[in-house]
Amino acid sequence: MLSRHHDPIAAIATAPGRGAVGIVRVSGKGLEPLVRLLCGRTLKPREATYLPFRDAQGQAIDQGLALYFPGPHSYTGEDVLELQAHGGPVVLQLLLARCLEAAHTPEASTGQPLLPGLRLAQPGEFTERAFLNDKIDLAQAEAIADLIDASTEAAARSASRSLSGAFSQQIHLLRDALIHLRMLVEATLDFPEEEIDFLRQADADGQLAHLRQTLAGVLQRAQQGALLREGIKVVIAGQPNAGKSSLLNALAGAELAIVTPIAGTTRDKVQQTIQIEGVPLHIIDTAGLRDSSDEVERIGIERAWSEISNADAVLFLHDLTRTHTPDYQQADATIAQTMRASLPPQVPVLDLWNKSDCLPPGQTLPESGIVLSARTGAGLDALRQQLLALAGWQTAAEGLFIARARHVQALHSVSDHLDTAALQLQGHSPALDLLAEELRLAQNGLSAITGEFTSDDLLGVIFSSFCIGK
């Protein structure tokens, strides 16, 4: 544990701005003297007390609730003091300054500061201490941030399940089964003349097969949970006046982008996050793709291509009322060719045929892609379902937990090690030392998810993304 983890810390724990209630939080060891000075009395543990908060001269800053949680029965595992006042930014700043000032007040008996070293908390430091003091594991800590940042109801519910330990429990079950298998394998290393029979009698092959099957289920759920958290980036692209801005507005259900008959109206990207069945989709409307002498439009087109090259999926929008003209067909073919050259093979491009409401009866429609009308909404339901398919979404089972990209990567790594271990075990003369090493690496991969085996650098990256006061 780094030396900074021993410092007492303080911060405003509510969001910036005005609100009905604001909270100043202090965490550290031996807070009782500071509590008495700030509150003018001893507080009963875990009981809200209404009282005035006074400055060093005895003048009231505000009146509110004070709660004291002696460690280890607190959020951080240390002593925690929470001062709940009216949610004005000036009031909270005064309270925070008073906490820092009071910490350096000399005790009457010793002449030493009441709480030496009290400092402002860094982002995520309260939750980091909860993790370091074994109040929560790393997956639960990340779920706290995911719950705060959730952009859909489904993501919030899944993050809540992860916070309650649902994801961690699955990882622990896998780890325990893996440890048992490791024990069998490593025990045979002491008795090489009996190693094959011993492993066969213990059904090591069956245990490993069951472990891989269970892991596959957890990985599938983690991938769905990561999709709930991250969503996918979908870029709408096409020639000017194909209806890209109208399509964005139709999907978002709001007039976000300006729509006019004038080609080149959209000069820069317009982005909106929508949700379909709880999955967040980050939809980006871009400038119409064409050759242009207008400097501002040209910059917008360059940005459009930049967005396309970084997309998870591209909606290539075509204007049905112009597809019969040679110039339009040639321009679409050029755009399609450029897309194929700039996009990775795994990024899907979905052809959308817009303005179906403007076609005369009996006109032949394209056989591939989706025919729709951004103006009337025809075909939008089919598009929404296709977007879910492009995202890789499957109907979520009850109890889905949130997950991050690092969790999915770790589970993939564990799966690779178990696949290699299976090949070793199924060989005619398995090299048990190599088999044991693959199982050890797989266990380390699982432990990295919950933080039992991780680096300080990773912790720094994870907790720095939290808000201050959490």
| Residues annotated in a binding site for (6S)-5-formyl-5,6,7,8-tetrahydrofolate | 25, 82, 135, 470
Query: 212: closest CA among 461, 455, 426, 454?
Result: 426
Lookup: tokens for 368: 């591939």
Residue 214 CA from chain centroid, whole number: 24
Other residues' Cβ atoms within 10 Å of the Cβ of residue 317 = 26
Exposure string over 123-151, b if 16+ CB within 10 A, otherwise e: bbbbbbbbbbbebbbbbbbbbbbbbeebb
Residue 294 CA from chain centroid, whole number: 40
Q: 3-state DSSP call for residue 354? A: strand
CA dist., res. 342 & res. 340, Å (int): 6
- DSSP-based helix, strand, coil % in the chain, nearest 5: 50, 15, 35
CA dist., res. 284 & res. 74, Å (int): 44
Backbone angles phi, psi at 335, to 5 degrees: -65, -45
- Residues contributing to the annotated binding site for K(+): 241, 260, 262, 265
CA dist., res. 252 & res. 234, Å (int): 13
CA dist., res. 27 & res. 109, Å (int): 23
Contact 91, 22 (CB under 8 A): yes
- Residues contributing to the annotated binding site: 25, 82, 135, 241-246, 260-266, 285-288, 373-375, 470
Q: DSSP E strands: which ranges in 209-331?
A: 232-238, 270-276, 279-285, 313-319
- Residues contributing to the annotated binding site for Mg(2+): 245, 266
- Residue-wise DSSP of 219-230: HHHHHHHHHHHH
Contact 98, 53 (CB under 8 A): yes
Beta bridge partners of 81: 26, 68
Establish how many alpha carbons lie within 13 A of residue 267's alpha carbon, considering only the half-sphere containing its beta carbon.
Answer: 6
Q: 3-state DSSP call for residue 451? A: coil
DSSP state, residue 31: -
Lookup: tokens for 143: 């779920």
Contact 243, 371 (CB under 8 A): no
- Residues contributing to the annotated binding site for GTP: 241-246, 260-266, 285-288, 373-375
Contact 117, 8 (CB under 8 A): yes
Query: 448: closest CA among 133, 169, 139, 129?
Result: 139
